[in-house]
C-alpha cells in the first residue's frame, strides 16, 4: 500500500518503536492518529513530525474499557482509518514465580486482550482497502525462559493475526503480523540489556525496526520476522522444537542469573 495520504492509528506512539514508526510513517506522507497515555509526550512528538497540523493525538489507557471506548468514538476517528497499527505493549522479564499477579495480568491485557478488543471495535471504521498491523515479537514463536507471560501474550497475537487475516479474506482488509527481535527501547530493563550482552544477542535500533515495518506495510507482507538468527530459530522451533530446547538449555544459567537474581545471591552465600 502506498502510505502517502493514508490515515493511520498508531497505538503506543510515545514508546521507542512507536515514536520511530511515527517519524517514518509521517515522512512517507501519512496522516497519523498518535495514541499513548501521556498527552504532553504525544503533543511533543506531533510537533516534531513533518506537517504537524495534519496529525492528531489520542490519549487512552487501553486496559480500561471506558477509555478504549472513548478512543474508538473520538470525533477524529469518525471518518475512519486506512491502517490500524497495534503497537502498544509491555513486558516483564523475570521467572514466573517472581512475577506478581498484576504484572502477569498487565502483559496479557495490554499485549493481547486490548488489541483484540480495539481491533473488533475499529473494524467498522477501517476503510477498504485497509491494513491491520499487529506488532508481535520473535517471542511470539519462540518460548524463552524469563518471558513466560510475555511469550503467552505474543503467541496469542500471532494466532489472532493469522486467524483474523483468514477470516477477512476477500474483505479488502489484510492483517499483517510484524515481529521485531530485541530492540533498544525502555521496554527492556537494564537486566535484559546486560543479559543480551552476556549472551551476545543482537539488538536493533527503533529506527531500523520502523524502516522494516514501513517496508512490510508497503509490501503488505503478511508475516515478517526480523533478524538473523532469530528468523532461523522461529522456523526451527516450529519444525524441530527439541533442537531449540537443547540450544536454549545451554543459555539457561546465564538467563537465570539475570531473570532470577535473588536465587543466585542466595546460592552464592
Ligand atoms: N523493544 C523490544 O525489544 C521489542 C521486541 C519485540 C517486540 N516489541 C514490541 O514492540 C511494541 C512496542 O514496544 P517498545 O519497545 O516501543 O515499548 P515502549 O518503548 O515501552 O513503549 C510502549 C508503548 O506502549 C504504551 N502503553 C503502555 N501501557 C499502556 C496502556 N496501559 N495503555 C495504552 N498504552 C500503553 C506506552 O505509552 P506511555 O508512553 O503512555 O507509557 C508506549 O507508548 C510492543 O508491542 C512490544 O511488545 C518490542
Ligand 1 centroid – CA 187 distance (Å): 6
Reported as half-sphere exposure (CB side, CA atoms, 13 A), residue 185 has a value of 25
Catalytic annotation present for 150: yes
Ligand 1 pocket member 92 (CB < 6 A): no
Q: What pLDDT sits at residue 266?
A: 55
Walk along the chain (269 residues) in steps of 10 and give the mean pLDDT of each run: 98 98 98 98 98 98 98 97 98 97 98 98 98 98 98 98 98 98 97 96 97 98 96 96 97 96 62
Give dist(CA 204, CA 140) in Å, integer: 17
Q: Where does residue 195 rank: exposed (0-12), middle (13-18), buried (19+ CB within 10 A)?
A: buried
Q: Which residues of 64-84 are buried (b: 16+ CB within 10 A; e: fewer)?
A: eeeebeebbebeebeeebbbb
Ligand 1 pocket member 18 (CB < 6 A): yes
Residue 25: how many CB atoms within 10 A of its CB? 26
Q: Give yes or no for a contact between 187 and 144, defined as CB atoms under 8 angstroms apart.
A: no
Which domains does the chain show, CATH number per domain?
Answer: 7-268 (3.40.50.720)
Ligand 1 pocket member 41 (CB < 6 A): yes
Whose alpha carbon is nearest atom 43 of ligand 1? 12
Q: Give yes or no for a contact between 248 and 144, defined as CB atoms under 8 angstroms apart.
A: yes
Kindly calculate the radius of gyration of the chain based on its CA atoms and give it in whole angstroms: 19
Q: What pLDDT sits at residue 263?
A: 74
Atom of ligand 1 nearest to the CA of 192: 3
Reported as half-sphere exposure (CB side, CA atoms, 13 A), residue 161 has a value of 29
Q: How far apart are the first and last CA of the chain?
A: 59
Q: Where does residue 166 rank: exposed (0-12), middle (13-18), buried (19+ CB within 10 A)?
A: exposed
Q: What pLDDT sits at residue 265?
A: 64
Q: Alpha carbon 75 to chain centroid distance?
A: 26
Whose alpha carbon is nearest atom 22 of ligand 1? 15
Ligand 1 centroid – CA 248 distance (Å): 26
Ligand 1 pocket member 63 (CB < 6 A): yes
Amino acid at each position: 500500500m502506498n502510505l502517502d495520504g493514508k490515515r493511520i492509528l498508531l497505538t503506543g506512539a510515545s514508546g521507542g518503536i512507536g515514536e520511530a514508526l511515527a517519524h517514518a510513517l509521517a515522512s512517507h506522507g501519512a496522516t497519523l492518529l498518535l495514541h499513548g497515555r501521556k498527552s504532553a509526550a504525544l503533543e511533543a512528538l506531533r510537533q516534531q513530525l513533518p506537517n504537524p497540523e495534519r496529525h492528531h493525538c489520542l490519549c487512552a489507557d487501553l486496559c480500561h474499557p471506558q477509555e478504549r471506548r472513548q478512543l474508538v468514538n473520538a470525533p477524529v476517528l469518525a471518518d475512519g482509518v486506512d491502517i490500524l497499527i497495534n503497537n502498544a505493549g509491555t513486558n516483564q522479564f523475570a521467572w514466573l514465580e517472581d512475577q506478581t499477579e498484576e504484572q502477569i495480568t498487565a502483559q496479557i491485557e495490554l499485549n493481547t486482550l486490548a488489541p483484540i478488543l480495539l481491533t473488533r471495535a475499529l473494524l467498522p471504521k477501517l476503510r477498504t482497502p485497509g491494513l491491520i498491523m499487529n506488532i508481535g515479537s520473535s517471542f511470539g514463536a519462540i518460548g524463552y525462559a524469563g518471558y513466560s507471560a510475555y511469550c503467552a501474550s505474543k503467541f496469542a497475537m500471532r494466532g489472532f493475526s493469522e486467524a483474523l487475516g483468514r477470516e477477512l479474506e476477500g474483505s479488502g482488509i489484510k492483517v499483517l503480523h510484524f515481529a521485531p527481535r530485541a530492540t533498544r527501547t525502555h521496554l527492556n530493563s537494564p537486566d535484559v540489556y546486560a543479559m543480551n550482552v552476556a549472551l551476545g544477542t543482537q539488538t536493533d535500533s527503533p529506527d531500523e525496526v520502523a524502516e522494516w515495518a514501513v517496508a512490510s506495510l508497503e509490501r503488505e507482507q503478511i508475516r515478517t520476522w526480523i533478524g538473523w538468527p532469530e528468523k532461523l530459530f522461529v522456523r526451527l522451533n516450529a519444525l524441530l522444537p527439541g533442537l531449540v530446547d537443547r540450544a536454549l538449555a545451554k543459555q539457561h544459567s546465564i538467563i537465570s542469573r539475570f531473570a532470577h537474581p535473588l536465587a543466585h545471591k542466595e546460592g552464592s552465600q
